[in-house]
Amino acid sequence: MSSDYEFSDDDVDNVFDDEDIEMQDDDSDGDDGGDMDDFKVAPKTTRKAWEVQFDSLTQASIEKLMEKDVEHIRGILGVDESKAGLLLRHNLWNKERLIEQYMDNPDKTLIAAGAAMPEPEPPRPSRRPSRKPKASASPKSDTFVCSICFDDAPDITPLSLDCGHAACSGCWSAYITSKIRDEAEHACRCMAEGCGLVASDEFVRSAVDEDTYVRFEELLVRHFVACMPHLKFCPYPSCTNTVSCPGAASKTSLTTVVPIVSCGARGLASTSSGSMTQSQELTRQVTGKEHKFCFGCIIDSDHRPVVCGVALLWLKKCRDDSETANWIKSNTKECSKCMSTIEKNGGCNHMTCKKCKHEFCWVCMGPWSEHGTAWYSCNRYDEKGGVDARDSQSKSRASLERYLHYYNRWANHEQSAKLALDLFAKTEKKMEEMQITSALTWIEVQFMKKAVEEVDKCRMTLKWTYAMAYYLAKGNQKDLFEDNQRDLERAVEDLSELLESPIEPENIPTLRQKVTDKTVYVQKRNSIVLEDTAEGFLEGRWAWNATVEGFEDPVPQDP
């Protein structure tokens, strides 16, 4: 088994070697938390086949990356820092394209990015008229009148960008604040109509209050992250971390890997520093939910082992179908002749299909003609007509049944995962109880907590195996997959039962032994499922019974 690990590891590493080197370069620049990085890297050397390599970056380190790019552009193009920033933002941080465009036509590139003014056009023949537009004439007169609010008080300060379109500081502040706060826009163009100049960062800083400037910086980081295919912002509320995952940067890679990543933070971030005491902060970090999400799609939890395309297909189907399907299943039958779905909402059992006028018995589904006058009760279950009718009905119900089979198990595991919090609390109590009733120490009773965590993790895996199994094409591969799934499920249920069982003081040593053994076993079964599926994706072993983006179309097969 270990040789397998090594093989797949090397494989993945070779593919993404370039990015790895690049990322390490970036790390060496950031001197903060170097120890932490070492600490994090260590476990990754034994990365499993189903795990992807990723790094968590704070807002500060992203800002450093941005600075580096700005510096790079500044050096090459010979523009100042603020202009380099504007150029990069406008060109979506694509350095190569920016340099190419700039070399081609520097003025056009600068104007498009809002970093420079276009030459005044109207007076073409005579080049002498002042470069500044009319608005700038007003500050020269004795009193300045703001062109936005017409305020002409002597104490107002006129402000303008390089274009000279002046307005009072109050108007600028209100305008930029509204752009940043209400529109989440980081590029604040000049207020004058048709003027495309963008306010520099220093100008923004001077115009708005501190909170708004913090928001502005966050917007810049978000924009940068959104432009980079190998970066993704943590989707958890008010978290500002970013995850770098070069292995999942392209769409095609998502058919072979399930890039579940974690930004390293836990729980809900404190909205403003100082509102939490240090101990509260510590509790949050230890007990809060890990910020785990999928790099490749919008699902903000672990959907291993199934790839994004299939997971999304399944979620969509569940949203569309499950409630309706449940209702249809419990309230309707199909006409045995034309297969119309019929709801019986009253009357006797002598049914006449509205569509095909077929007369049949609601109880046995056989044709009514066989019933004669026995309409009040049906005792003809074994009649041939009835058996045939039920046969054909069952066929048409089979697909619905099949879906509900997978859906119910999927939903069941989801429900159990939701109850996991309760289970955690209950286990904690049990652990305390154990300490009192036996001679075990706190550390020695940790096996309970570990078992609960493992059960939770496995239920997550199990949940998604049902989504996967629903879409897997029939065949040996699916049989093997379902065998693995069954083994894991059985082991998880056994362990769950053990955890729920009452604690007798005299049984604690045996219970401990059993739980520990089972936990190890469950862990092993879980890795078998995850590893086998992950390898299957890398080898392209899985075939689907539906069209999944990025995969070959399914081969038609018998129902």
Partner 1 sequence: MSLPKASPPHLRRAFVAVHRLTIVISETERLVADPVPGITAAPHDDNLRYFDVTIQGPDGSPFQQGVFKLELFLPEEYPMAPPKVRFLTKIYHPNIDKLGRICLDILKDKWSPALQIRTVLLSIQALLSAPNPDDPLAPDVAKHYKENEADAHRVSREWTQLYASK
Out of 31, 104, 193, 539, the only residue in the binding site for partner 1 (CB under 8 A) is 193
Out of 33, 170, 267, 554, the only residue in the binding site for partner 1 (CB under 8 A) is 170
Quickly tell me which residue has 């971390």 as its tokens: 241
How near is the Cβ of 193 to partner 1 at its closest, in Å? 4
How near is the Cβ of 90 to partner 1 at its closest, in Å? 16
Q: What's the rounded Cα separation, in Å, for the pair 25 and 225?
A: 18
Peptide bond into 305 cis (omega under 30): yes
Using CB under 8 A as the binding criterion, the count of chain residues that bind partner 1 stands at 29
Regarding 211 and contact with partner 1 (CB under 8 A), the answer is yes
Regarding 136 and contact with partner 1 (CB under 8 A), the answer is no
Out of 59, 61, 109, 177, the only residue in the binding site for partner 1 (CB under 8 A) is 177
Q: What's the rounded Cα separation, in Å, for the pair 261 and 291?
A: 8
How far apart, in Å, are the Cα atoms of 219 and each of 29, 109, 435? Answer: 23, 23, 51
Quick check: 149 and 168 in contact, CB under 8 A? yes
Regarding 171 and contact with partner 1 (CB under 8 A), the answer is yes
Nearer to partner 1 by Cβ, of 118 and 267: the residue is 118
Cα angle: 524, vertex 529, 531; to 5 degrees: 90
How near is the Cβ of 272 to partner 1 at its closest, in Å? 12
Q: At what angle do helices 2-15 and 17-29 cross, to 10 degrees?
A: 80
Out of 31, 38, 96, 155, the only residue in the binding site for partner 1 (CB under 8 A) is 155
Q: What's the rounded Cα separation, in Å, for the pair 527 and 521?
A: 10
Catalytic sites, residue numbers: 348
Joined tokens for residue 556: 């038609």
Regarding 117 and contact with partner 1 (CB under 8 A), the answer is no
Q: What's the rounded Cα separation, in Å, for the pair 1 and 30?
A: 37
Regarding 143 and contact with partner 1 (CB under 8 A), the answer is no
Regarding 157 and contact with partner 1 (CB under 8 A), the answer is yes
Quick check: 421 and 459 in contact, CB under 8 A? no
Nearer to partner 1 by Cβ, of 168 and 468: the residue is 168
Regarding 376 and contact with partner 1 (CB under 8 A), the answer is no
* DSSP-assigned states of every residue in 91-130: TTT-HHHHHHHHHH-HHHHHHHTTSSPPPP-S--S---S-
* DSSP-assigned states of every residue in 487-548: HHHHHHHHHHHHHHSPPPGGGHHHHHHHHHHHHHHHHHHHHHHHHHHHHHHHHT---BSS--
Nearer to partner 1 by Cβ, of 202 and 401: the residue is 202
How near is the Cβ of 41 to partner 1 at its closest, in Å? 43
Regarding 280 and contact with partner 1 (CB under 8 A), the answer is no
Which positions from 428 through 487 interact with partner 1, judged by CB under 8 A?
A: none
Nearer to partner 1 by Cβ, of 174 and 411: the residue is 174
Regarding 175 and contact with partner 1 (CB under 8 A), the answer is yes
Regarding 515 and contact with partner 1 (CB under 8 A), the answer is no
Regarding 147 and contact with partner 1 (CB under 8 A), the answer is yes
Binding site for partner 1 (CB under 8 A): 147-151, 153, 155-157, 165, 167-171, 173-175, 177-179, 182, 191-195, 209, 211
